[in-house]
Structure 1
Amino acid sequence: MIVGRPTRRAVVTGAAALAPALAFGRQRQAPTRNGAEPPPIVFVHGNGDSAALWINNVWRFESNGIQRNQLFAIDFPYPLARTDDSKPQALRSSTDDQMRELAAFVAQVRSTTHRRKVALIASSRGGNAVRNYLKNGGGAEFASHAVLCGTPNKGIVVSDTMLVGSEFNGAMPFLQGLNSGPDDLVPGVEMMAIRSDKNDKYSQPDARFVGHPGKPTGVGYDASELRGAKNVVLEGLDHRETAFHKLAFAAQYEFIVGKPAGTLFIAQEPLPTLNGKASGIAEGVYTNLPMSGAEVEIFEVDPKTGDRKSNIPVHRKTTGADGLWGPFVAHSEAYYEFVLRMEGEPATHIYRSPFLRSSDIVHLRPQPFGKGDEGAGAVVMMSRPRGYFGIGRDKFSLDGKVPPGITEGVPAVSTGKLSFDAKPRTVVAVFNNETIPTRTFPMKDNHIVVAEFTN
């Protein structure tokens, strides 16, 4: 991957989503440059996402001496934005909804940690919630830093004809209100924005990524910048990578702690304890609500073939009201297959790279079948939740091929899919230095396979 180091340094107020903090072990808290203890950090996810996307950021902060019980990630129950922010829409949230939920979450973090202020790190839409909380929800009193990563601060479009009523339209009331002052600063809060140079699909002068190719959006490549704040440009990174790439972490850490990170690598734990939540789909929309009655099995698999080492799972649980499928003590060099069975959805087989550290945000979602899957013997998908696939920038393949739908130019697609016959076989997914082996399962028996990249 071709990336550049930050061209400018910026103050980071991170907005994040909260998940229960499990204190596995104790390490000495990393002091800031002036010797003070850094604030607790709250991670805020983006549109349609969950706390699970922050796992690498959390691990890197831990690897640099920030205690696990000072790192929190929120799960907005309804993560998708309304089409029109002013009109109720089932299973979707308004800007007011997310502001209230973030305020409650920060209050919980402050009570848990006995600290007056937190640092906020946000991805994409999460930055809208952070800015709204700081400016209109009383959050400036309780935040020391805010870091917004790929947040469309000027909007995805500024238009009277596209995305009318959307919180992502710079001509609509929400962003008009946030951007009404001479700058985007909030008194008392150190603020930083991290953006791509030209690779953010939502900061483009052409509206092809919002369904209107050839039409001007009214914004440019700098749509994610904050006026008056510190702005960091990370060359070559895509929309999601501005939050989750290791270079984004480096900027986040230095802004909050006041000195460069000691390492960008993740320190390995031999026996990480894993947990997370099973959540589902309602009317075709993902939510972050916990699902009870979901069956989760975990199998250790061969790192080359994906074959199960035993037909007896190393972990099995039916979730309760909290949706939690763990805890499970893993081996940090082992490859695992997670099988999620949920009423009304395909049995989803999720293959992952080894888990290097403990985490309680290993959330699981079912994967529905898509158009064109009907005639397949088996379906395998590769998924990159923390970034997109860039032809020419990245090395990636599924069964040795580039799946259809991934195009050249600005990285804009995070999944790829291939169909196979019903005969069981190994299918290998590759993204740069990460290789995940999977096994096919017959679609006629309601099975779908996902290779989920960590990086």
Structure 2
Amino acid sequence: MKTMIRRAGLVAALLCFFAACAGDSQTATDTSATDTNVEVCDSNRTPVVMIHGFLGAGDNYGWHTMRFTANGYCPESLFVFDWNTLEQTDQSPDLAAFIADVIEETGAEQVDLIAHSAGCALSYAYLGAEENAALVRRFVYIDFSPQESLPGPDGEVTTLALWAESSATFPGEDPDAEPVPREIPGAENITLPGSDHYSVATSEDSFVAIYSFLNDGEEPQTTAFVSEDEVTVAGRAVSFGENAPLAGGVVEIYTYDPQTGVRSDAGPVYTITTDEEGHWGPIQVEPGVHYEFWVQPLGEGEMAVHYFPAPFVRSNPFVYLRTMPPPTSFAGLLLGILPRTAEGANVVVFMQTRVLNAATDDLLIDGHQVATPEVASIDKSTVALFLFDSNDDGSSDLTSVGLFEQFPFLNALDIFFSADPQRGIAVQLNEYQLTVPSVPSEEGAMVLMLP
């Protein structure tokens, strides 16, 4: 077992080891991709700042980050900006401070800015100031409400607007309203065939469009996640929706058998304490091995989380571990209804690259078909599906939980899973299959990160 406590000096040394000392160490508030080991990269490329949308976090860009590094971007030139998506105040000053730090750290004169969904509104607010617009070379606007003009006080920011084919309306809008033209006048407007509101920001086609726009029409050499013999991962532990960092939290990392769902008898391969900004790692992992991340918060009454990501094949600095917000928070009021018992398990299906679609997906959890039209029709844009015994009756009636329907991207079904670590819970999403340990809900919620 390896115990790691992240401190600024230690992190700088580790980053230099894994990234060949390609740049200065990151500040406490920055989240950059410096944690990876990559091929030879071009340090002259413009730094990229990526902004997630509502209920999102920096890991929404983990897939594109791996594609960027596979195409010659230096890890230390890639950044994500995490923000509280449930906060109603203007957070553009925070974004301005973040971009100023990126420019100071990298020595660049400008950045390229990418935003998805509600992150686009935040970006437009930021770019409304002349001094901010001057710092952005190119802007990628991904699937939010159409705008009347380009960003910037005089519409001066060169912009690519990517639109999802399936988003006739946006989450939260009136589906019966007359459709608004999907465009920003003066921008390069592209609708990606077959895309949904989430995949338009994560798919291979999305990356090709973004990369070509940022690189004067040049297409990427690859859109695949080029495998590496030595894989390192790192990220942050932050609360769901609010992205408040988990400071001083303990993360235990285990391996398990994906055929049986049984943990290795050897105990945790790593035990990590998160730093004051929720950062953890970097750590080296075995390619293709199945890992469980057990995140243990410090606050009284807060629920632990057991994360089950897909096996890693390439270094990724943006592996996020979302914690359940405390009961006193807005999101905590919703998630506080999850039961905590020794007999049952809480399972959360989290789609990493697209929405769950009942028309095209078969999702079997412990033998139950959960990709039903009631919770996974394409217009619902379901990214996270909560499965738990909402009736507290020890049975599964597969009815939807109405409270979750009030939130975009979320849904829930009543299902009882017996908490038996020796039995495991079988998971099958189309061709992707595995069995995960069945964790009693009193020990935390299970989050299945499905590709």
TM-score by length of 2: 0.76
- What is the correspondence of 1:233-272 to structure 2 with a 5 Å cutoff? 233-257=191-215, 258-272=217-231
Q: Aligned in 2, Cα 1:66/1:49: closer, same or farther, shift over 3 Å?
A: same
Conserved? CA contact 2:256–2:264, under 8 Å: yes
1:452 pairs with 2:420: no
Q: Aligned in 2, Cα 1:264/1:75: closer, same or farther, shift over 3 Å?
A: same
Conserved? CA contact 2:162–2:200, under 8 Å: yes
Q: Secondary structure at the match of 1:52?
A: helix
1:296 pairs with 2:251: yes
Conserved? CA contact 1:148–1:192, under 8 Å: yes
What is residue 43 of structure 1 aligned with on the other side?
50
Q: How many residues align?
A: 378
1:117 pairs with 2:74: no
Conserved? CA contact 1:38–1:256, under 8 Å: no
1:200-257 Cα deviation digits (max 9, x unpaired) = 2743xxxxx53866x52x543x44x211211111122111111111211111111111
Conserved? CA contact 2:36–2:316, under 8 Å: no
Q: Secondary structure at the match of 1:278?
A: strand
1:275 pairs with 2:273: no
2-structure distance, mates of 1:330, 1:229: 42
2-structure distance, mates of 1:452, 1:23: 21
- What is the correspondence of 1:85-234 to structure 2 with a 5 Å cutoff? 92-94=87-89, 96-97=90-91, 99-136=92-129, 138-154=131-147, 179=148, 188-197=156-165, 199-200=166-167, 202-203=169-170, 210=172, 215-216=176-177, 218-220=178-180, 222-223=181-182, 225-234=183-192
TM-superposed CA distance for 1:310, in Å, is: 2.5
TM-superposed CA distance for 1:409, in Å, is: 4.2
1:322 pairs with 2:277: yes
2-structure distance, mates of 1:359, 1:430: 24
What is residue 34 of structure 2 aligned with on the other side?
22
Structure 2: state its 5+ residue gaps. Answer: 1-28, 325-331, 388-414
What is residue 406 of structure 1 aligned with on the other side?
375
Identity of aligned residues (%): 26
Conserved? CA contact 1:117–1:142, under 8 Å: yes
Amino acid at match of 1:313: P
2-structure distance, mates of 1:212, 1:371: 28
- 418-427 or 110-119, larger mean C-alpha shift: 418-427
What is residue 423 of structure 1 aligned with on the other side?
420
TM-superposed CA distance for 1:422, in Å, is: 3.2
1-structure distance, mates of 2:419, 2:108: 56
- 116-125 or 380-389, larger mean C-alpha shift: 380-389
TM-superposed CA distance for 1:433, in Å, is: 4.7
Q: Aligned in 2, Cα 1:319/1:49: closer, same or farther, shift over 3 Å?
A: same
TM-superposed CA distance for 1:308, in Å, is: 1.1
Q: Aligned in 2, Cα 1:313/1:202: closer, same or farther, shift over 3 Å?
A: farther
What is residue 87 of structure 1 aligned with on the other side?
none
- 291-300 or 387-396, larger mean C-alpha shift: 387-396
What is residue 347 of structure 1 aligned with on the other side?
304
1:116-146 Cα deviation digits (max 9, x unpaired) = 1111111111111222222335222111110
1-structure distance, mates of 2:269, 2:130: 46
- What is the correspondence of 1:373-384 to structure 2 with a 5 Å cutoff? 373=339, 377-384=344-351
Q: Secondary structure at the match of 1:232?
A: strand
2-structure distance, mates of 1:201, 1:372: 33
What is residue 365 of structure 1 aligned with on the other side?
322
TM-superposed CA distance for 1:114, in Å, is: 1.2
TM-superposed CA distance for 1:293, in Å, is: 3.2
What is residue 17 of structure 2 aligned with on the other side?
none
2-structure distance, mates of 1:52, 1:357: 14
Amino acid at match of 1:337: E
2-structure distance, mates of 1:245, 1:145: 20
2-structure distance, mates of 1:412, 1:440: 27
Conserved? CA contact 2:355–2:378, under 8 Å: no
TM-superposed CA distance for 1:333, in Å, is: 1.2
Structure 1: state its 5+ residue gaps. Answer: 1-16, 32-36, 81-91, 155-178, 204-208
What is residue 164 of structure 1 aligned with on the other side?
none
TM-superposed CA distance for 1:380, in Å, is: 2.0
Q: Secondary structure at the match of 1:106?
A: helix
- 138-147 or 377-386, larger mean C-alpha shift: 377-386
Q: Secondary structure at the match of 1:253?
A: helix
TM-superposed CA distance for 1:365, in Å, is: 1.6
What is residue 12 of structure 1 aligned with on the other side?
none
1:74 pairs with 2:74: no
What is residue 364 of structure 2 aligned with on the other side?
397
Conserved? CA contact 2:35–2:234, under 8 Å: no
1:59 to 61, 66, 82: 66
- 246-255 or 418-427, larger mean C-alpha shift: 418-427
Amino acid at match of 1:79: T
> Cα RMSD (Å) of the superposition?
2.7
1-structure distance, mates of 2:424, 2:351: 20
Q: Secondary structure at the match of 1:304?
A: coil
TM-superposed CA distance for 1:102, in Å, is: 1.5
TM-score by length of 1: 0.76
